[in-house]
Chain A
Amino acid sequence: MNNQQKPYDNIPGTTVFDGDMARIGFHLNQFCMSLMQESNRVAFKQNERAYLDQWPMTEAQKTAVLERNFSQLIALGGNIYYLVKISSTDGLSVAAAVSTMTDLSVDEYIDMMRRGGRSPEGNRFTDQGENKPSEESLWQK
């Protein structure tokens, strides 16, 4: 699927964790996985840089981990179920980590969820206008 248009490229604000992402994010995600063990969490917290240097990750991935830049981590192949292992090591909720990828503060995000979440209206296609790509929906439409 390299360099090809993918059918989910036109979903706004969304990165699908497919083979291309899994490939570039392999070591990043396996690093996250290591944080499932208490001894590794302690070692990571003691010296984050030194701990990260044990993993064959790219410099950009390491920097994004140190900065807790979740949008960047997603772009660099991180998968959210793996990345939340970093935020839970920090003692943060999933909502706290997830909200940083939106244009909302944590409180605004939680408030949006209380009010029923983000509406799909206007959030289905990057181009909602007349060039809206035709996709055959086999259900409902």
Chain B
Amino acid sequence: MAKITSGLGTSHIPLLGYLMDKGESHLEKWAPIFKGYEFTKKWIREQKPDVVILVYNDHATTFDMKLIPTFAIGCGESYRPADEGYGARPVPLVKGAPKLAWHVAESVILQGFDLTIVNEMTVDHGLTVPLSMVFGEVEEWPCQVIPLAVNTVVYPAPTGERCLALGKAIRAAVEQFPDDLTVQVWGTGGMSHQLLGERAGLINREWDLAFMDDLKNDYEKLAKISQVEYIRESGTEGSEMVMWLIMRGALNHEVQEVHRHYHVPVSNTALGHLIYENASQESEEEKAL
């Protein structure tokens, strides 16, 4: 049976991909950013996930104002990195996991989540930057990817409660899939940032750190944060943080935080990153007794 073993949260700031593509990520001045992913690169080589369900948002790249799906799951065979106006990132083609993706889509729709199904699309920095930060520069991505695109561009983004519940539904779906697969769920985006208005440049370090603290055990509380509160406290673009709640919902109640990284600024944004491993299945079953 397929199994979700771990999850991670990470910002997906375009500058990170840009620096890697230019071959500048090793420069000393960027060390405070990239050092925080060294552990991750070792960790992922041990974990060897077969499939990553990658929760991200499109930034007016693939979806424009014609079509704004709140949740869209990629069921295609592969996805090309998008040209976001400077030419496509020189990173490998993203291989899909259509069989599992369709299974997840069918299962979560029947569980009450009306997902949009996408068979063909390009993927922007929201999806490819996390892959680069975690796997580094590779010839081929060493796993299959199921893109799960969430609207965070047009107000309102889905609620935290809905995102958490979707994560739980995804977990139930994956656990019913017959193939033996190791699956991870990644939540990306954030942390605090605002790219517009006189208040542009807002960063709320305290908020971000408290969010990372509470995500481990008090995620039900985080799920109640309203869209307005995200915007007020962590900036107009801070509402991307709901995507981390999908990741959290897909994991066991008991998780171990095995890594954390926080750095301000990366261009206009606060960078956050953490890794959770599911506590052993047994302790989870004990809990249920």
Interface set of A (CB-CB < 8 Å, partner B): 7-8, 11-19, 22, 25-26, 29-30, 32-33, 35-36, 41, 70-71, 74, 79-82, 84-85, 88-89, 93-95, 98-99, 101-104, 109, 112-114, 116-120, 123-125, 135, 137-140
Please tell me which one of the listed residues B195, B210, B229 contacts residue A94 in the complex, with CB atoms under 8 A apart. B195
B153 close to A29 (CB less than 8 A): no
Q: Which residues of B contact A (CB under 8 A)?
A: 14, 59-61, 64-66, 83-86, 153-156, 192, 194-205, 207, 210, 214, 221-222, 224-226, 228-229, 231-233, 236, 264-265, 267-268, 270
A79 interface neighbour in B153, B199, B264, Cβ under 8 Å: B153
Chain A residues with Cβ under 8 A from B198's Cβ?
12-13, 101-103
Give 20 pairs: A residue, B residue, CB < 8 Å, sorted on A: A13-B197, A14-B199, A15-B196, A18-B156, A19-B155, A29-B64, A71-B197, A79-B60, A80-B195, A82-B65, A85-B60, A101-B198, A109-B200, A114-B265, A118-B199, A118-B201, A123-B199, A125-B232, A137-B229, A139-B224
A41 vs B83: C-alpha distance in the bound complex, in angstroms?
Answer: 13
Chain A residue contacts of B265, Cβ below 8 A: 113-114, 116-117
Q: Determine if A138 and B200 form an interchain contact, defined as CB atoms under 8 angstroms apart.
A: no
Chain A residues within an 8 Å CB radius of B205: 116
Min distance, Cβ B182 to any Cβ of chain A, angstroms: 33
Say whether A113 contacts B199, CB under 8 Å. Answer: no
Contact of A16 among B61, B231, B264 (CB under 8 A): B231
Q: How far is the CA of A33 from the CA of B66 in the complex (A)?
A: 11
- Name, among A11, A29, A82, A116, the residue most crowded by chain B CB atoms within 10 Å (CB to CB): A11
- A102 near B85 with CB under 8 A, answer no
Q: 12 more A-B contacts (CB under 8 A) besides A17-B155, A95-B267, A139-B221? A: A11-B231, A85-B85, A98-B200, A101-B197, A102-B199, A113-B268, A117-B265, A118-B200, A123-B199, A123-B202, A135-B232, A138-B221
Partner of A74, one of B156, B197, B232: B197
Q: Which residues of A contact B221 (CB under 8 A)?
A: 138-139
Are A89 and B85 within 8 A (Cβ)?
A: yes
Instruction: For the complex, give the distance between the alpha carbons of A129 and B14 in Å.
Output: 38
CB-CB under 8 A for A139 and B222, given A22-B65, A88-B85, A101-B200: yes
A-B contact count (CB 8 A): 157
CB-defined contacts of A125 to chain B, threshold 8 Å:
232
Docked CA distance A94–B85 (Å): 13
Top 4 A-B residue pairs of the complex, sorted by shortest distance between their CB atoms = A117-B203, A13-B198, A13-B199, A81-B60
Q: Which residues of A contact B66 (CB under 8 A)?
A: 30
Query: Does A138 lie within 8 Å of B65, measured CB to CB?
Result: no
* Alpha-carbon separation in the docked complex, A23 to B156 (Å): 14
User: Nearest residue in B to A89 (C-beta to C-beta)?
Assistant: B85
CB distance from A97 to the nearest CB of B (A): 9
